[in-house]
Structure 1
């Protein structure tokens, strides 16, 4: 893997997070276990707050939809004792997470818990060593930097706003999540380019997932696959289909004219 010069005409860089700017293990080994270990204490400490009650209500509505699923964990109604309700929410959250579910209700509670954890300094967003120097260099070359992740925009901003390298939000022009569409669909990348105000060919997309790279490439974007420790192994065909890097240092950008 040698250096890659960004094609002329590229004015924006679109970045994936997990496996690209941030170790996949950060989410798997830090963020998710934090939820599992602290959800009961969080609910007890925030129970009387409106936001917490809204989170519980959304989880209860989701539970009503899930009643036919194998291993379903119900959440008691408001007539039950508070400790009973809290334990039901805790058990339901653990059950959903054990199945790696991505329900809106679960993501909402997780987002609020992570916000509190970042604010208290209990969690700091991880980024690879080569990321911040490269982003600063690209920004100095007048590149516009954007994030596209399946994690919510709020979760993205928490990670980069409370990173081990400090507040990095000033580096980014904008954030996109799956409200624009799936990361595996070409249309999502066209929508992002429209939102940025440029053609897809003016965008360089960095990701570790070849299916995402394929969708972006079909939309007309320039793509580079980022190979990091712990990322999914690539087939020989995948390696031959895309430019590969293992550090942002390998990307050379020219100043945007």
Structure 2
């Protein structure tokens, strides 16, 4: 087993999600397809709720800011002209969300709606989080050792709370912020260059993080 010794001065463990705590395939093949396939049904079911209307308002504002981009789908305002108009607005939101996702955009408006949709799916049992087997035991061990554990991600706060990607670029950023870095090599992750393999401490499981003795 390869062991990465955690320096004694470390009091916080900072984890990424995609490809670190959670398989990349779960995010790519489950989370995002769920949004694409269910956004219209979600909007119809939650249309009258204040939270949903706030999400739509934020998406409408983003569409206005994106008005100069090719392919953008504007979201019209409602004028109270009945069900046909509501259907038109919902379809515009659906088309806008699909357009943003096709470009892999990470706007606040899109992330907010996605977070609310995932929350509803988790609450009703339609979705369950997926983690590598070593994640939960490792977090428990770190907490018992008095360490704080945090998650960082480009996803919404809502999505991070619900779920809990790895990339070499993120490792670089962490190191530039004076953090101690260990890269977790998981199935399905992008391959590392020879230079990256020789430069970074590589582990394949959180069990390989050796904590200093508290005595």
Aligned pairs, how many? 211
Distance, in Å, in 2 between the alignment partners of 1:73 and 1:153 is 26
Say if 2:200 is the partner of 1:242.
yes
Q: Give the corresponding residue for 2:145.
A: 141
1:217/1:126 Cα in 2 relative to 1: closer, same or farther (>3 Å)?
Answer: same
Task: Mark the CA change 1:37 to 1:141 in structure 2 (over 3 Å): closer, same or farther.
Answer: same
1:90 and 2:94 aligned: yes
- Alignment of 1:46 with 2:33, yes or no, is no
Q: Using structure 1 for the length normalisation, give the TM-score.
A: 0.77
Between the aligned partners of 2:57 and 2:166, the Cα distance in structure 1 is 36
1:126 alignment counterpart: 130
Q: Which residue pairs with 1:171 in the alignment?
A: none
CA 1:66–1:208 in 2, change beyond 3 Å: closer, same or farther? closer
Normalised by the length of structure 2, the TM-score is 0.91
Shift of 1:237: 0.3
Secondary structure of the 1:62 match is helix
Q: Deviations over 1:5-52 (max 9, x none)?
A: 222222221111111111112111111111111111111111111111
User: 1:220 is paired with a residue of what secondary structure?
Assistant: coil
CA distance in 1, matches of 2:177, 2:214: 22
CA contact (8 A) 2:112 2:158 kept: no
Q: Which runs of 5+ in 2 are unaligned?
A: none
- Which consecutive residues of structure 1, in runs of 5 or more, have no partner in the other structure? 161-206
Cα distance in 2 for residues equivalent to 1:221 and 1:126 = 27
Which residue of 2 is the match for residue 217 of structure 1? 175
Poorly superposed stretches of 4+, deviation over 3 Å: none
